[in-house]
Structure 1
Amino acid sequence: MAEGVLFNVAEGIIGRLGSLVFQEIGLVWCVNDELQKLKLLVSQLRAVLLDAEQKQANNEAVKEWLQSVEDAVYEADDVLDEFYTEAQWRQMVPGNNEVSKQVHIFFSSSNQLVFGLKIGHKIKDLNKRLHEIASNTTVGQLERNREDVEFVRRERVTHSFVREDNIIGRDKDKRAIIQLLLDLDPISIKNTENVSTISIVGFGGMGKTALAQLVFNDEEVQKHFEPKMWTCVSNSFQLDILVKKILKADNLDMDQLQNELRKKIDGKRYLLVLDDVWNENRNKWLSLKDLLMGGAEGSRILITTRSKNVANIADTAEPYNLRGLNEEQSWFLFKKMAFKEGKEPESSTIKAIGEEITRKCQGVPLAIRTVGRMLYSKHQETEWLAFKRNKLSTISQEEDDIIPTLQLSYDVLPSRLKHCFAFCSLFPPDCEISVDILIRLWVAQGFVKSSNPNECLEDVGYEYYNELVWRSFFQEEEKDEFGIITSCKMHDLMNELAVKVAGEGSRIIGGNKTDFDAKRLLHISFDFDVDSSEWKIPTSLLESNKLRTFLFLSQHYSREESFHKSFCATIASNFKSLRMLSLTGLEITKLPKCLRKMKHLRYLDLSDNFIERLPNWIVELQNLETLDLSRY
């Protein structure tokens, strides 16, 4: 689980139990004393959670203790959610109005008594478990949190930002690549064919994409090639998918695609950038290459990749190996990120620490930017010394291991932002993430908090998002015609970091992959097309009784009504704690009645279905905040 997440869940429980609403409903069902005990016990545990989360990696006893806390705290959150939902539903029904006979029976004194006894036993059992956990000897090894309150939101500050057209230290690399593209250095490329392939190779975060962007937008390059095409390949190297990306066409079959591609490039001196290529299957490359060989003499394919093997398969000449920035370039970039107006600090101590930090970043531009930005608001020598002493000692010196470096920016995030970022591990590399949906997902999970009851949580979530953007956790933002941000992406390195910090709590499932600890799983996404005739929920996943997110990222389709009912029944009976449920593309015409049991549900995605009328029982989903009925 991501550090800080459990702390936030515990804090949410304490906030609920301290509210006037819970005190009132506790009195109604005669469980106020037990609720106060629950608040005290959770407060005691919360006081040491942050220290426990930091120590668990090197202390097995602390890790096991923390897992028992996690189980109990999430159960407590569910019980209180159930309690609150029931009370709110009760308050919505006027005492003297004849709403319906069913409602009258539902809220009869006997039913209220039964519910009160049931919820009372649940809270007592929870208190017993939490008392045993709080009495564990492991607690004595833990320090109390230095701050017992939420971090204060960082004030906005002005800073010097490196734009995409002002990349530091890549002028020499840019000139070298342009020489290859324009055939100014014919010895360096294979000239046996009209279309030549050039590869930029370097490990993640080195700036391969940024360099390709600089070259692609160079004025001389713009004049030399027509057409010019940019495609991010990432993990998929299927021929039809690639050609669709190149042509930006989705509704054509393969024969139409190859015709359109040849019309676009045949006889023309084109430039095609294939960014972030991982494919090491030569047959797949040759299938694409066959369609690209009709260009005029001097046409170029520019590939960016982490693998030299990819470059060899693509028949390139000696790959262009992109190195890290030198010490002078690294320090210049760090200053622009860490200090106002890029000026060196007056303190010689801070300067010396900054130079050491820069060297630790190993010339990786992304690492330098993220760490530099994170230190921008720190002005005291003691803060810089503490950072160097407590964080940098864990950084690996291996060239290909920069995730620990990037994790420095994660470690100092306020806890409210940590689990927002970790949640993004549900999105695969190069996935275009809808910002609006992402924020609603955060809200549905209870990640977004506000002390002002009149403040819109989506607006607060947008502030969270902007803070993460400022710290370079997101990039490649797209805006609509009104300048509103619609989507973003995560750099591969940031995606890897999200997966690492999310731990066992989040998983992306692809195909028949089932290598996960179901009992620890909280959030899951499915990144493959699902055909109901061939797929069903993995048996191992049915053990995930704490699951809170069930998200489809790819197409999911079925025309069988029997499948809809059985599929939803399986979800409703096994994943009762879900806050988010995706049923997109199932071609549902009538919403299965079993879903009325999903009392904790905040976000229900019914997009791409054929539901003509929502059932009356939908109003029983008291906690539902987002109902996605788009693309009908």
Structure 2
Amino acid sequence: MALIGEALISASVQVLCDKITSALFVDLFWHKKLDKPLLMKLNTTLLTLNVVLDDAEDKQIVNPAVRKWLDELKHAVFDAADLLDEIDTEALRRKLEGEDQTHKLTNKVWNFLPSSRNHFYQSMNVKIQELLQRLESFVQQKSALGLREGAGRQVSQRTPTTSLVLEPCVYGRDEVKEKLSKVLLSDNASKDDVSFLTIVGMGGVGKTTLARMLYNDDNVKGHFTLKAWACVSDYNDCIKITKTLLEAVTSKPCNTENLNLLQEDLREQLRGRKFLFVLDDLWNENNQDLNYVRVLFITLGTRGSKVIITTRNKNIASVMQNVPIQYLEPLSPEDCWLLLSKHAFGNEKCSAHPNLERIGKQIALKCRGLPLAAQTLGGLLRCNIDSEEWNRILNSSIWELQFETSDIIPALALSYHYLPAQLKLCFVYCSIFPKDYEFEKEYTIQLWMAEGLIPQVENANKMEEMAQNYFDELSSRSLLQKSNKSGFTMHDLINDLAMFMSRGFCLRLEERESLKVERVRHLSYARGELDVAPKFKPLYGAKSLRTFLPTSLDPY
């Protein structure tokens, strides 16, 4: 998988372009009197838009105009896919009926065919022309929106982390802190001289906070002769990571790009010293780079040296670890409320405002154990005793909050941005599953395959294997989680993230407030004891449905 993924609709655009330029499709146009130059122009227009999609997806969260442009473009691309599918389907139907013979009809004979048979392809030319004009309008708007071709992926929207303890209070982490402290203070934690402690969890669950607590513990401080903290979330190669480590050790800027010189300098700094390093927010999935960093530390460190690594990706952790991985779970509802109330009331006792305490505990439940969400929402309510404002926060989606005042939005969105486009398609499709819905792996990947979200290959077994790999990848990135049973679920806020990114084309029928079905493509509904026509009346206007899924049935 790529370190940083493309925009969601890039996968759809690539599929369209591959189909348009395929020999079978070009042959179809040649023999059916479809306008081939028009088709090639459509391909060029799609490619022109594709080069600015990464920039648009980065900017959409903070720029409503870009968000609207991207949303409308998604529908245009999906309509293009529907149009090409319609042509494919008609060609296959006529072939099965015997209309496509080994010896193709000449143009002269074609003109004598009944007009009803020829009319379909004539109408396709008109539809392709209309679609092309629609897409060209997006090309004209991209400059006005400041969208740049080949713009760098600025996925990290947060301030780089530091070792400074910023949290005024931490709840619910005493047990795991004590467990990891014992590992840090042991010189025989692993068979290697250097031990790697990996902390894995979803965005906002408190991995960095836990690493800070360990790094600044008084007992830990006295155990190591050298300590250094490096935030490596933006670095995707071993040169940048090595340079960051060296600068963290020397507290001086480093200007060389020579990997060998960097290694030698770092070797001299670490020689004979028992060190503690923190590599915070590691995203680089390249096994070669990860193994390089691992071997570098092992060869440089003295017995008892430690490296703490925080990551959202358990695949990264599995490469680096030589002691058991520490999976960080969400806080309990009680600890979440304690954290939220501390940020909301400061040193004042929340019991002085019983009406706010009642609302606040419901808000804490919405955080579903994420400390960053509790801290963010508590900060928004700080010193505010207006119950109407507290109810507004309670009843609103977290994605309706102001981007500038909510750390949780970029923290969660970062996990999405790092996904390759094909994985994004599969992830946002899961937004049709209701919150707390438990789904089974095989059931889900069959849906993905049926909806064309998995790249087409001739071997069905290979295609299913690819879909399974996609599912495992989403799980390894903490976007899908094992349930208490044998299935999987999505954390509520991750579900919100998927809904935000899939708005307009994925929908749950129960979301009445935003029920606009005209262009919805994937829809689910909670099946009740009595499903009658009035329940589905809002769907009468749906023109593009590809999924109609009951979700209250047992998927097993």
The answer as to whether partners of 1:205 and 1:493 remain within 8 angstroms in 2 is no
Shift of 1:140: 7.2
Paired residue type of 2:125: G
- Percent identity reads 28
Q: 2:74 maps to which residue?
A: 70
Name the SS of the counterpart of 1:537 in structure 2: helix
Report the equivalent of 1:21.
24
Measured after TM superposition, the shift of residue 19 of structure 1 is 0.8
2:387 aligned partner? none
- What displacement does 1:65 show? 3.0
Correspondence for 1:313: none
Deviation at 1:146?
A: 6.0
Q: Runs of 5+ in structure 1 lacking a partner?
A: 98-106, 149-166, 175-202, 208-322, 340-344, 360-366, 379-394, 480-485, 556-583, 585-606, 608-629
Aligned 8 A contact 1:396 1:404 in 2: no
SS in 2 for 1:545: coil
1:33 maps to 2:37: yes
Query: Would the alpha carbon gap of residues 75 and 505 (structure 1) be closer, same or farther in structure 2, given more than 3 Å must change?
Result: closer
CA distance in 1, matches of 2:501, 2:9: 13
- Counterpart of 1:489? 489
1:525 alignment partner in structure 2? 524
- Please list every run of 5 or more consecutive structure 2 residues that lacks an aligned counterpart in the other structure: 102-111, 154-171, 180-201, 221-228, 236-240, 250-276, 283-308, 321-371, 378-406
Alpha carbons of 1:358 and 1:50: their partners in 2 closer, same or farther (altered >3 Å)? closer
**1:423 deviation in Å?**
1.4
> How far apart are the structure 1 equivalents of 2:248 and 2:541?
52
Between the two structures, name the one with larger relative contact order (CA 8 Å, sep ≥ 6): 2
**Relative to structure 1, is the Cα distance of residues 402 and 453 closer, same or farther in structure 2, using a 3 angstrom cutoff?**
same
Are the structure 2 counterparts of residues 71 and 423 from structure 1 closer, same or farther at C-alpha, using a change threshold of 3 Å? closer
Tell me the amino acid that sits aligned with residue 149 of structure 2: R
Matched, 1:10 2:9: no
Contact 1:374 1:409 in 2 (8 A): no
Within 5 A, what are the aligned runs for 1:119-268? 119-136=124-141, 138=143, 141-145=146-150, 170-171=175-176
Q: Structure 1 residue 110 and structure 2 residue 115: aligned?
A: yes
Q: 1:370 aligns with which of 292, 300, 312?
A: 312
Distance 1:496 1:350, change over 3 A: farther
Is residue 514–residue 538 contact of structure 1 (8 Å, CA) maintained in 2?
A: no
Q: 1:465 to 1:111 in 2, by over 3 A?
A: same
Residue aligned with 1:446, SS: coil
- Aligned equivalent of 1:229: none
Pick closer, same or farther for the CA change 1:551–1:478 going to 2, 3 Å: same
Deviation of 1:22 (Å): 0.3
Q: How many residues align?
A: 349
Query: What CA deviation, in whole Å up to 9, does each residue of 1:297-339 have, x standing for no partner?
Result: xxxxxxxxxxxxxxxxxxxxxxxxxx9636244899x99x999
Q: CA deviation at 1:464?
A: 0.7
1 CA distance for matches of 2:463 and 2:60? 32
Q: 1:475 aligns with which of 475, 481, 484?
A: 481
Deviation at 1:416, TM superposition (A): 0.9
Corresponding residue for 1:536?
535
Structure 1 residues 394-543: aligned runs within 5 Å: 398-400=375-377, 402-450=408-456, 456-476=462-482, 487-510=487-510, 513-519=512-518, 521-529=520-528, 531-533=530-532, 535-539=534-538, 541-543=539-541
Residue in structure 1 matching 2:60, options 56, 63, 67? 56
- The 1:41/1:57 distance shift into structure 2, 3 A limit, reads same
Residue matched to 1:90: 94
> For the Cα contact (< 8 Å) 1:57–1:63, is it kept in 2?
yes
Give, in angstroms, the shift of residue 487 of structure 1.
Answer: 3.0
CA contact (8 A) 1:370 1:472 kept: yes
Residues of 1 paired with 2:473 and 2:40: CA distance?
Answer: 35
* 410-419 or 521-530, which deviates more: 521-530
Determine the C-alpha separation between the residues in 2 that align with 1:121 and 1:96: 23
Q: CA deviation at 1:80?
A: 0.5
Distance 1:11 1:533, change over 3 A: closer
C-alpha distance in 2 between matches for 1:509 and 1:453 = 35
* Residue identity opposite 2:7 in structure 1: G
- 2:336 is matched with none
Instruction: Specify the alignment match of 2:157 in structure 1.
Output: none
Q: d(CA) in 2 for partners of 1:60 and 1:66?
A: 10
Q: Which amino acid aligns with 1:464?
A: Y
Q: Which residue of 2 aligns with 1:163?
A: none
How high is the TM-score relative to the length of structure 2?
A: 0.52
Tell me the distance in 2 between the aligned counterparts of 1:137 and 1:407.
Answer: 23
- Give the Å deviation of 1:352: 5.0
CA separation of 1:466/1:51 partners in 2, compared to 1, >3 Å: closer, same or farther?
Answer: same
The verdict on how the C-alpha distance between 1:136 and 1:120 changes in structure 2, with shifts beyond 3 A counting, is same
State the SS of the aligned residue for 2:524: strand
* TM-score normalised to structure 1 length: 0.47
The equivalent residue for 1:214 is none
Task: Name the SS for the 1:524 alignment partner.
Answer: strand
CA distance in 2, matches of 1:447, 1:436: 15
2:293 equivalent in structure 1:
none
Query: Deviations along 1:235-288, whole A, 9 cap, x unmatched?
Result: xxxxxxxxxxxxxxxxxxxxxxxxxxxxxxxxxxxxxxxxxxxxxxxxxxxxxx
Q: 1:35 to 1:377 in 2, by over 3 A?
A: farther
Between the aligned partners of 1:426 and 1:402, the Cα distance in structure 2 is 22
The letter for the 1-side match of 2:117 is: Q
SS in 2 for 1:551: strand
Letter in 2 for 1:503: R
Distance 1:350 1:494 in 2: 36
